[in-house]
Structure 1
Amino acid sequence: MKRFLPVCIIVFVLFSCSSVEKYNEKITTPHTVEALRSDIDHLYSQLKKNHPKLYQYISKSDLEFKFDSLKKSINTPLTSRAFYKKLAPVVAQVRQGHIALGSVSKQYKRKELKALNKKKFEFYDLEFDYLNDKLWVTNTRGYDSTLIGSELLKIEEDSTSNLVKTFKTRFASDGYNKTLYNSYVGKVFARLYFKEFGYKDSLKVVFKHADSIFSRTLKRVEKEKKKDTLKTDSLKVIKPKKRTPEERKDNRIANKKKRKYNRNHGFISKYDGYTRTFKFLDTSSTAVGYMKIKSFSNGNFKKFYEESFKKLDSAKTKNLIIDLRDNGGGRIAEISYLYGFLTNKKFKLIEESEVTNRLPYFNYLLANDMPVSLKVISTLFSPFIVTHNLIKTHKKNGKYYYKLRFAKEQNPHDLNYDEHIYVLINGNSFSASSLLSTHLKATNRAVFVGEETGGAYNGCVAGIYKVYKMPESQLKIRMGLMQIETPYKQEPDGYGILPDYEVLPVINFEDPTNDNQLNWVLQDIKKRKDN
């Protein structure tokens, strides 16, 4: 047994190295025309088999024509990345924002990964907004703050305008909405660049600040090591002061309190910030509650909302602003819980979800990209999964429907807020944030300010997802398996929640806290109070 374990480790390491080399060779070697056309057939077959609303925004004949045209256009061998660039624009024509086609990137051996993790790429420290057909640097996360307010003109030999135009063909909003494209391309520009071009050690980037045009070479550099506050020089070491029992107890209580706060607010260590925050805005005349929710994806949301609405109730706050700008969605459970505080009536958050078969969770768990360990566990628990799916799924008018628990009627919270609500939205308000907005809009519960949401009023295909890996190119596509929609509908289909007052964003680099959309709401509150 003692000899067996080291042998297993050696075999595992050798197998891993071999797998990495084979994978890298596979994605960089041009694939035959026949193999790529076969991948297209496999992809389209998976979409037809699993996506319940594939032809919602494009007719079957039009989509089949586009896939056939793509197959005919491939007449020479292509690498996986080159294939991605041809395939992504066609997939985007489905106009279902939750369908995402991934590119490929080189894999690394353990030693290589260890070395890479000690470095960071300066380009990824930059954050952008795309506004007025220009890409602006809005944050540098400690790199060089003088770049904030600069326009990015060029990367290597590619102009920003051409890059943005190309990147916009790689993804889709829900339906025919246009506001998502500018919002999304700015926020994830660095990620889209990586998908398009892969790993880079350095990039020559041209900026414009005021009337000055200059270039920087952004490199992969060593990460800053945490400073050792105990060392004053290489010779002298200061021993830490020994804490008293009372100090240690106070420190434990403070750390526990901090961890609880971080959980409730959804702390994001990468950005040193929180997913959800609440505060009162002092407008000199009246207190206004302001709730910023960046996503519905992490943290103990129940505690956060309970504490926030208790504060609103105690302060007898007459106005609440919910900021859903750049909120890409997340958990249905969270928006269901939040909406219970925003209504005083019984409600059903969503309808029963349309699916393509009676075992939707099997489609998710047994996807060809799932780890073998998870497939084994799924197989072991298959009797329970099958039974659960069969109970939850039923057939109606020739279609299958899965009943999530949020399709049941729910009661509002006892502490529901019944005063005036404003909701800030933009093109990046998507998925779950759009579902919440649909309810508030349909029931005339809130005043919406900003831009049309990128997520559709009439719902989206999400819930659970299947990731399918194409056998030849190794490209992966993620697709939703459930049609998630509220009881409310609007015509025409394929558009987001429209603002009651359209207020386009303006970036103020001299004073980033000067938010023109939020200021509009505060001025409206003052105007209403004066009247």
Structure 2
Amino acid sequence: MKTPFLTICFSMLLCLSLRGQTLTPEQLQADFTRFRTALNEAHPEMYRYTPKPTFDSLFAATSAELNRPMTQHEFYITMLPLLVALRDGHIKWIVSGRDEHYPFFTDKLFPLKLYFQGEKVWVVGNYGNASVPNGAELTSINGQRTLMIVQKLLSNMTFADGNRVGGKYEDLNQFFSGYYATHFGGPDAFTVTYRTGSDEKTATLSPVDEKTIKAYAETHKPAGQKPFRITFLENGGSSPQTAVVTIERFYTNKGEQDYSAFLKEAFGQIKQWQIKNVVLDLRNNEGGEESYGVQLYAYLAAKPFRYYDHISVRQKQKFSFPVWTSKLYLKMRWLVVKKRGDGYVFTHQRGLKTVKPERDAFHGNLYVLVNGNSFSVTTEFAARTHADNRATFIGQETGGGYGLNSSGIFAITQLPNSKIDLGIGMFGFHMANLPNDLKPGQGIVPDHLVAPTVEDVLTGHDRAMAYTRSLIQGQKAALTKSE
């Protein structure tokens, strides 16, 4: 028990010492070379959104900047344009031993919880003892307009596939204090201007620490809710006609609900009650196990389907750099990775085969709720459902890309001098039977765009769910009238 603890302590001390010292140009170039090599050998589709000539120019420009001593923090920031150019929301860039959202500051953090909507920034919570009221519009921080701050942060954030920004806004809603500190520093105090009504006021706020922010987040989580839930809504008749199925994530932790058992029981009940409408809530579901999405769609598909067209990988040879990844995959890749055209594909996945609907599959009206945090496996499921015209979508555009994403098994390497971990999803999941009119880099755009207002956030009003219920009631009324 002592060895892991001592290892963790040593790692943390090493990170602290790195933040206080500079790295030589030779050390920076060595890390840069490892970074570029890892991307070239592991990323399945590095040039999916940014052409190779553009990327080569970015590499050259970044290398030229590494001609002077830099701190770990400066190197971290200097490399970000390369990561952003991938437009791969799964890419990981994490200072070893630190929370990815608080890589350099654990104190002197911004003390207000904010909500971002378009060009507006609203106060919706308070981590400390600040005097700014909830519902106020924040207009500046330490003399900088919030609009300019947000634009800078968005341009340096990686949580998005393709051209998506919804996931970035959702990340700001949760982790603005960490992003602000990384890019603007941690001051001893924050002077803010804000509006309430027509009045603009100024306040000076004391900073808070990471522990306080995380404690606030924990206390504001719904208590006792299971990650997979089904609720039946009364419609004024003798039996319910609508079921709400909530899937918070596509994975399970040890000792939790069994996902397969939940689906079997839930859709068995839906069939038994002869439910006509199912609302599938996938908001804030950032993904998980690919097979979970395939399994869920088998309970909703109208006919046999192929989920993936193919799953691309960069290569099947041994990596030339030190890497942490699945030992089983390294042993089995000679069997499960095959040559295809100019590249390679991974062949061992249920979604590559034709899948038959489950016996209790639901064939009624399906409504799917998504938002910017609907990502990865969730976006894959939404893409299959949307491409098959199987559901009505309500909410906000997904954070993940419609056509494909890079995830699956990760290759992780630690840059030798800066001690920053680079994590690369090695599989490119290409969805099958896509629409012909997709725009490059788009997500799943809902049929009905419904975004929460600041009043919704403050009062807990679920605008998208209320809108969906009104759709269902409207369709029911139209059917009754026509009959």
| Match of residue 275 from structure 1 | 227
Correspondence for 2:74: 82
Residue 500 of structure 1, aligned match among 423, 432, 447: 447
Residues 195-274 of structure 1 mapped to structure 2, 5 A cutoff: 195-196=182-183, 204=190, 206=192, 208=194, 210-211=196-197, 213=201, 214-220=203-209, 272=223, 273-274=225-226
Residue 59 of structure 1 pairs with residue 51 of structure 2: yes
- Which 10-residue stretch deviates more, 490-499 or 18-27? 18-27
Q: Write the letter of the residue equivalent to 1:168.
A: L
CA contact (8 A) 2:373 2:398 kept: yes
CA contact (8 A) 1:29 1:79 kept: yes
Asked whether the equivalents of residues 110 and 207 of structure 2 are also in contact (C-alpha less than 8 Å), the reply is no
Paired residues for 1:347-366 under 5 Å: 347-358=305-316
Q: Paired residue for 1:338, among 264, 273, 296? A: 296
Change (3 A) 1:122 1:293: farther
| Whole-Å separation in 2 of the counterparts to 1:342 and 1:301 | 16
Q: Would the alpha carbon gap of residues 522 and 476 (structure 1) be closer, same or farther in structure 2, given more than 3 Å must change? A: same
The Cα of 1:169 is off from its aligned counterpart by 2.4
The amino acid across from 2:336 in the alignment is K
Cα distance, 1:430 vs. partner?
1.3
* Matched residue, 2:481: none
Secondary structure at 1:72 match in 2: helix
Which string of whole-angstrom CA distances, capped at 9 and with x for unpartnered residues, describes residues 296-340 of structure 1? 233432232223223322322211111222221111121122111
Tell me, in whole angstroms, the C-alpha distance in 1 between the residues paired with 2:167 and 2:62.
Answer: 26
Q: Secondary structure at the match of 1:219?
A: coil
Range with greater deviation from structure 2 (13-22 or 162-171):
13-22
Change in Cα spacing, 1:16 to 1:438, as seen in structure 2 (3 Å) is: closer
Deviates more, 1:344-353 or 1:317-326: 344-353
Find the aligned partners of 1:509 and 1:14 in 2 and give their Cα distance. 47
- Counterpart code for 1:192: Y
From 85, 93, 101, give the equivalent of 2:85. 93
Aligned ranges 1:40-51 → 2 under 5 Å: 40-51=32-43
Q: TM (normalized to structure 2)?
A: 0.81
Q: 1:197: how far off? A: 6.9
Structure 2 unpaired stretches of 5+: 100-105, 213-217, 479-483
- Look up the match of 1:426: 371
SS at match of 2:413: strand
The CA distance in 2 between the partners of 1:441 and 1:494, in whole Å, is 16
1:396 CA displacement: 1.9
* Residue in 1 that maps onto 2:332: 388
Cα distance, 1:510–1:318 mapped onto 2, change above 3 Å: same
Distance in 2 between the 1:202 and 1:308 partners?
A: 53
Mapping for residues 56-455 of structure 1, pairs under 5 Å? 56-103=48-95, 127-138=113-124, 148-152=134-138, 160-172=146-158, 173-193=160-180, 195-196=182-183, 204=190, 206=192, 208=194, 210-211=196-197, 213=201, 214-220=203-209, 272=223, 273-284=225-236, 287-298=241-252, 299=256, 300-358=258-316, 368=322, 370=324, 378=327, 388-406=332-350, 407-455=352-400
Aligned partners of 1:347 and 1:193: how far apart in 2?
A: 45
Q: Does 1:525 align with 2:472?
A: yes
Structure 1 residues 155 and 278: alpha-carbon distance in aligned structure 2, compared to 1, 3 A threshold: farther
2:102 aligned residue = none
User: CA–CA distance in 2 between the matches of 1:269 and 1:503?
Assistant: 23
Question: 2:11·2:97 contact (CA, 8 Å) conserved in 1?
Answer: no
Within the candidate set 426, 432, 438, 1:481 is matched to 426
1:436 Cα shift? 0.3
Q: Give the deviation of 1:79 after TM superposition.
A: 0.2
5+ long unaligned stretches in structure 1? 1-7, 108-119, 224-266, 379-383
Distance 2:70 2:211 in 1: 35
Q: Which amino acid aligns with 1:325?
A: R
Residue-by-residue CA offset, 1:179-211 (whole Å, 9 max, x unaligned) = 33323322332443465578x797647474735
Contact 2:109/2:210 (<8 A) preserved:
no
- Alignment partners' CA distance in 2, 1:26 and 1:316: 62
- CA positional deviation for 1:76: 2.6
| Equivalent pair of 1:51/1:355 in contact (CA under 8 Å) | yes
Greater Cα shift, 169-178 or 153-162: 153-162
Q: Name the TM-score, length of structure 1 as normaliser.
A: 0.74
Q: CA deviation at 1:30?
A: 1.4
**Which range moves more in the overlay, 200-209 or 210-219?**
200-209
2:404 paired with 1:459: yes
Q: In structure 1, what is the Cα distance between the partners aligned to 2:466 and 2:13?
A: 55
Cα offsets for 1:89-108 (capped at 9, x unmatched): 2320121221122246779x
User: Percent identical across equivalent pairs?
Assistant: 23
Amino acid of the structure 1 residue aligned with 2:445: L
Q: Distance in 2 between matches of 1:30 and 1:334?
A: 45
